[in-house]
Structure 1
Amino acid sequence: MSKIDNITTEAKILAAAEVIFLRDGYSGSRMQDIADLAGMNKALLHYYFRSKDKLFEYIFDKKISLMFPKMEELFDENASFIEILSGFIENYIKLLMANPFLPLFVITTINKPDREDFLEKLPIFLKRRLIEFYQRDLALGKVRKHNPVQLIISVFGMCVFPFMAKPMLKKMSNMNDEQFQEFMNQRIPEVQGYIKLILEP
């Protein structure tokens, strides 16, 4: 594995920790692996970050902010719920294409019994805002009646599942990485089309 060069010591540690934690998860990661990738001894690593917990929490916070990107720019009062959801689908799939290990990293972390505190970091506002726009358009007759929570979970599932199952999908469809990326580009209008079929009156 190549060393991480030309950046500050702390930045080297964070870049190396991100690689190791995303690859191996919390339990499988060792501070020595992070030090080796950053090109330093473990004592120096501990000088900057005294524990694996603190370093992991920093990386998790950074990644959770990516996995649930700030969506305020999509919540245009003049936009329909379908338009907002379509914009979310496009942004979210493109984000996951750039960070394919992200869903597994976040999900395995928040599902650990001793990591319940990480649940508090999830952006509950996102679901609330989406439901508000859905209820507005439902009252205006612009969408059909559905359970909005079920709908939002379905959207997340349609976006995230291919990345969680990437090795299986590549094997089943005989795809290489480049073909998988193209497949996911094609999935954006596919999922958007499903949402329109479900929601349009």
Structure 2
Amino acid sequence: MKVVAFKRELQGTGASRRLRISGQTPGIIYGGTEAPVTIALDHNALYHALKKEAFHGSVLDLELDGKVQKVLLRDFQMHAYKQLVLHADFQRVDANQPVHVKVALHFENADVSPAVKLHGATISHVANEIEISCLPSALPEFIAVDLSNMDVGTSLHINDLKLPEGVTAVTHGNNLTIATASVPAGQVSADAAAEEKK
């Protein structure tokens, strides 16, 4: 995905406010061997890009003064109630250096799992993203989570995930829970009552 940016000379609250009024969003590019550069981006293009999941978890081509550099979206600030992007931070990436990024989880096959199919259980998604480390070229858009083997009372953890080649989960020593399967409380008592009537 491509982002077009312009160098921003004026800084400060007033300059940023004027930028936003003119339909642009202030931002910054940092990291790597070069100094940080303050930039301006087209607000509408950025706002719509932020709605795409791939924009958050992909290496982006950022064009600045005719030169393209590889960056990751690191942070952005939204207005409290307006549909307005206030600021965006991008980090330069080196093709030979691993990056640490949060990537979305896509849950699949819940409807064919024993928990749902046989017991009418509910599978709760405890986490919707995980932190990973990999080279920029190996960065996945998302990580698929196969729920087809989940049964009632079981949990799926980070260590159970099948990660793409070259990708490792950053767990900080914790095997965090990703999903759990449990039967809703009302259903358990209804099943018990049905058993008693037999």
Higher relative contact order, structure no. (Cα contacts within 8 Å, ≥ 6 residues apart): 1
TM-score by length of 2: 0.29
Structure label with greater radius of gyration: 2
Q: Which has the higher helix share?
A: 1
Q: TM-score, normalised by structure 1?
A: 0.28
